[in-house]
Amino acid sequence: MLSGFHIGLVLLYSPGVRINLHRDHTVFDKVAVGINLGEATFLMAEMPKKGEKVKPISYPLEDGDCLKFNTKILHGIEPVKQSRWGIYFWHLKPEYLK
């Protein structure tokens, strides 16, 4: 596991699988990192104001790309065209390490 991180997750995405826009659980600190194996489109969006639609920004990921993102901002993955692996690491907030 990457130094200083507490949680790791390995995901296999089959063709057509997506991760809907979401924010990570409150036990996690705000920074996470990911390693992309395959091609994907990472999405990030601010929470919309009442009555507005979510307007995600797309970030194409290529095989081997690494990303660092704010877990408290909406994020997700568009449906993948071919199988893809994602490896992610999170820090726990200090109060959950006791």
Which residues, other chains included, contact 49 with Cβ-Cβ below 8 Å and sequence gap of 6+?
A: none
Q: Domains in the chain, ordered, with CATH? A: 7-93 (2.60.120.590)
Backbone angles phi, psi at 96, to 5 degrees: -95, 5
Which tops the pLDDT comparison, 93 or 1? 93
Predicted pLDDT of residue 2? 72
State residue 98's pLDDT score. 79
Residue-wise pLDDT for 26-58, tens only, equals 999 999 999 999 999 999 998 888 888 989 999
Note the helical H segments in the chain: none
- Between 97 and 20, residue with greater pLDDT: 20
pLDDT at residue 50, as a whole number: 87
For the whole prediction, is pTM greater than 0.85? yes
Q: What is the pLDDT of residue 1?
A: 60
Output phi, psi for 94, to 5 deg.
Answer: -55, -35
